[in-house]
Structure 1
Amino acid sequence: NITQKAMTAPTIREAQKGVLAAATIRILIIPVIVTVPGVVAYKLLGDVGDRAYGLLVAQVLPPWLSGAFAAMIGAAVIAHTSAVLNSTVALYTVDFHDQYINAGADQRQVSRIASVLLTVSAVALVPLYANAASIINLLQQLNGLSSMPILSAFITGLLFRGVAPGAAIAGVVWGVVLYGLFTFVLQPQHLLTMHYIDFMVVTLVTSVAVSLASNRLVLGNRARFLWQRPEPA
């Protein structure tokens, strides 16, 4: 989502400014917004889990301000859902459907169909989230299914020269499969008790390693760090 918006900037410099501004807000402001209410709720209400925000608002804010807060939360959820849906549909339409299925298809029609299917799929997953002990932990755990493999591709591209795109894709596929195996098989059956945040690090490191190994052993390319000078011919 962030990458898509950066790529729509008129110049590279403007894209850099936008990313730096978003990163500053993410580092300096978002942690305060996320953590402080949780700490206050734990101090006042005890261990109430995902109900912390709602209970805190109900007990601390006056009724008229509680309604305004609920409206703001609803608007934020709608805006976030719209942004994620738009980004996902754009990725599917441009990078997958046009490339591999039908290059001459009407993009507007494909986007509409993809939006409906994604929305229906999201609604169908509601029972899965409803039965979770903590929806926040579940979402963070599922986030690692894509975040760490994609981050490995960025790290490989930013820190190394001579890495073929196919090698980076191999690392991403490896990361998705590995983390999916951990999330849906090993951890539920208690075959591996590592915390999912720790396993994200394992996924990231091994995904980068698979990218570099496949680049060298399968594709025959020699990767080197970005700051290393090329070997003399």
Structure 2
Amino acid sequence: MNLTILSFLFFTALVGFLTWRITRKDDHESSEGYFLGGRKLAFPFIAGSLLLTNLSTEQLVGLNGAAFEHGLHVMVWEVVAVVALVCMALYFLPKFLRSGIATVPQYLGIRYDGQTRLIVDAVFLLAYALILLPIVLYSGAKGLASMLDISALTGIESELGVIWFVVILIGVIGSVYALFGGLRTVAVSDTLNGAGLLVGGILITWFGLQAVGDGAGVIKGVEILKTTEPERFNSIGGPNANVPFSTIFTGVMLLNLFYWCTNQQIIQRTFGASSLSEGQKGVLITGGLKLLGPLYLVIPGMIAYHLYASGGLKGDDAYGHLVKSVLPPHLTGFFAAVMVGAILSSFNSALNSTSTIFSLGFYKGLLNKEASDKQVVASGRWFGGAIAVISMLIAPQLLGQESLFGYLQKMNAIYFIPLFAVIVVGMLSKRVPALAAKVGMAVGFLLFFIGYFVNIGDKQAEDGSTIPTYISGDWFNGFHFIGIVFAIIVAVMLLIGLIKPRGSDFVQQDVNAVDMTPWKYSKFVGGILVMLVVVIYACFADFSVL
């Protein structure tokens, strides 16, 4: 245990020191320096930060937990993400950089009006404070608690007490990174931790397969997995699967597109790109790295199922248990440090985005329009600190969720889809007015509330008790319901655009914030990535389940 703790402390301190050395002379006081890294981010930092912001413990713990419960077909969240990243690089990023924005709501303010921007600012802030940040903290606490045996180290006996301890620890450290370092500090630490995470994640799979092979080697481990549970090695989800194949083309694709193309927490580092070319390289490299995602985000969960399912292990506990069981002590500490980095990455990225949205949207745009750069940055730090405290208070209340990853996707859809519909219609149309955006969002939020939370009747369970039924999940598959709501929002907005269009066409202006020359290989690389997605699916597909 001492070796585990020492290696954990060493790697954590090393990342902190290197981040300080690289960013110590950065501008952390101006708005552009603090919120956008001075628009100086090169593609390695964009790719590293994009990858690690995504790869927090809601992915490591949650997606491996889903693979433990359901098998290979949950890789959809990694592999289909590549298609969304190609769309980001080739279509969405040029539009965002041309406007010189720091936040997605700023773009909507330009396309629609100031009121639309403020509404979206408020939606992002509420979603990050009440959904995203608490989930990042909770999932991180769950993973670390089992990996490092925090209960034995601290003497805290109750699971809830351990969760509180780790949540507060991560929250405080992450707040220091996000609130005092700014975007470039976040991006640099993300990149350093990202390298460690890739190495560590693949090591987990390597040692796990050796454990399956019982000393006969990794290849033997793969053969045993495929022969003992062949039905779990299907990339195609059947009609009753966790993610049915047909949902890839409805809700699953829409959630991926919002997440990788318009989610402020993720794409803020692309707004800090030094040029369109650097931004496109960073995004497409991330797409290439995501193709490796199943190796460390899905296969470990399947390994854990093979090794421990008979012992009654729960899905969201599978990853931490596997790491603790198969890694040598010195590597366990190293990987725990990488996990902390992954948690901090998602936490401080979301916190930095929250501060950015509040400072540039509400503080500068509404509360103090004459504020200096120093005042704007200070407001972001104070607000971010308050949100950090709120998220730390909410996180432990998530204890007891059946599926962390499923809960995350469901809650994300509530705000992902209405906002994505408004953004897409705004980009593809020239005459749809601001009224349509407001009505579209209201319709979307209302439909999700009805579909998710309004009981439409009771049904009888196997034990004779009655359970409530809902439109989403009972009338429609939850992901198909997302697609239906998206289509309704788009139809409502286009109808309003026909009845009461803008007085003139919207024309996007290039503010010359960065060099807009595209990377000459962007379309070629994007095409290759999409082809690889198809090939990966084809290699593991058994369509007979349909």
Q: TM-score range by the shorter chain?
A: 0.7 to 0.9
Q: Distance in 2 between matches of 1:44 and 1:85?
A: 37
- Structure-1 residue corresponding to 2:497: 215
Deviation at 1:49, TM superposition (A): 1.2
- Structure-1 residue corresponding to 2:335: 69
- Structure-2 residue corresponding to 1:231: none
Cα–Cα, structure 1 residues 195 and 93, in superposed 2: closer, same or farther, change >3 Å? farther
How many positions carry a matched residue from both structures? 222
**1:135-177: per-residue Cα shift (whole Å, max 9, x none)?**
2221221111222223223332343343334433432343233
Would you say 1:16 and 2:280 are equivalent positions?
yes
Q: Distance in 1 between matches of 2:455 and 2:485?
A: 14
Cα–Cα, structure 1 residues 92 and 186, in superposed 2: closer, same or farther, change >3 Å? farther
Cα–Cα, structure 1 residues 116 and 183, in superposed 2: closer, same or farther, change >3 Å? farther
Deviation at 1:207, TM superposition (A): 2.2
- Structure-2 residue corresponding to 1:142: 411
Q: Distance in 2 between matches of 1:30 and 1:161?
A: 38
Picking from 160, 172, 178, the partner of 2:447 is 178
Larger Rg: 2
Q: Distance in 1 between matches of 2:349 and 2:277?
A: 23
Picking from 451, 464, 487, the partner of 1:205 is 487
- Structure-1 residue corresponding to 2:299: 36
- Structure-2 residue corresponding to 1:104: 370
Cα–Cα, structure 1 residues 5 and 124, in superposed 2: closer, same or farther, change >3 Å? same
Q: Distance in 2 between matches of 1:175 and 1:142?
A: 13
Q: Distance in 1 between matches of 2:454 and 2:358?
A: 28
Cα–Cα, structure 1 residues 121 and 37, in superposed 2: closer, same or farther, change >3 Å? same
Picking from 352, 368, 393, the partner of 1:86 is 352
Q: Distance in 1 between matches of 2:503 and 2:486?
A: 21
Cα–Cα, structure 1 residues 113 and 166, in superposed 2: closer, same or farther, change >3 Å? farther
Further displaced range: 188-197 or 43-52: 188-197
Picking from 466, 469, 475, the partner of 1:190 is 469
Is the contact made by 1:37 and 1:53 (CA closer than 8 Å) also made in structure 2? yes
**1:120-145: per-residue Cα shift (whole Å, max 9, x none)?**
22122224311322222212211112
- The amino acid across from 2:284 in the alignment is L
Cα–Cα, structure 1 residues 175 and 61, in superposed 2: closer, same or farther, change >3 Å? same
Q: Distance in 1 between matches of 2:483 and 2:489?
A: 10
Q: Distance in 2 between matches of 1:20 and 1:170?
A: 35
- The amino acid across from 1:89 in the alignment is S
Would you say 1:2 and 2:2 are equivalent positions?
no
Q: Distance in 2 between matches of 1:108 and 1:17?
A: 29
Q: Distance in 2 between matches of 1:110 and 1:124?
A: 22
- The amino acid across from 1:98 in the alignment is K
Q: Structure 1: give runs of 5+ residues left out of the alignment.
A: 224-233
Q: Distance in 2 between matches of 1:22 and 1:34?
A: 15
- The amino acid across from 2:495 in the alignment is A
Q: TM-score, normalised by structure 2?
A: 0.37
Question: Aligned to 2:470, what secondary structure does the other structure show?
Answer: coil
- The amino acid across from 1:100 in the alignment is L
**Percent of matched pairs sharing the same residue:** 28
- The amino acid across from 2:410 in the alignment is Q
Q: Distance in 1 between matches of 2:342 and 2:396?
A: 22
Deviation at 1:9, TM superposition (A): 1.8
Question: Aligned to 1:162, what secondary structure does the other structure show?
Answer: coil
Deviation at 1:34, TM superposition (A): 1.7
Cα–Cα, structure 1 residues 169 and 78, in superposed 2: closer, same or farther, change >3 Å? same
Is the contact made by 2:363 and 2:369 (CA closer than 8 Å) also made in structure 1? yes
Question: Aligned to 1:142, what secondary structure does the other structure show?
Answer: helix
Cα–Cα, structure 1 residues 119 and 181, in superposed 2: closer, same or farther, change >3 Å? farther
- Structure-2 residue corresponding to 1:60: 326
Q: Distance in 2 between matches of 1:146 and 1:218?
A: 26
Is the contact made by 2:418 and 2:444 (CA closer than 8 Å) also made in structure 1? yes
Deviation at 1:85, TM superposition (A): 0.4
Q: TM-score, normalised by structure 1?
A: 0.81
Q: Distance in 2 between matches of 1:70 and 1:3?
A: 26
The two structures, once aligned, show a CA RMSD in angstroms of 2.8
Is the contact made by 1:163 and 1:221 (CA closer than 8 Å) also made in structure 2? no
- The amino acid across from 1:211 in the alignment is M
Is the contact made by 2:436 and 2:497 (CA closer than 8 Å) also made in structure 1? yes
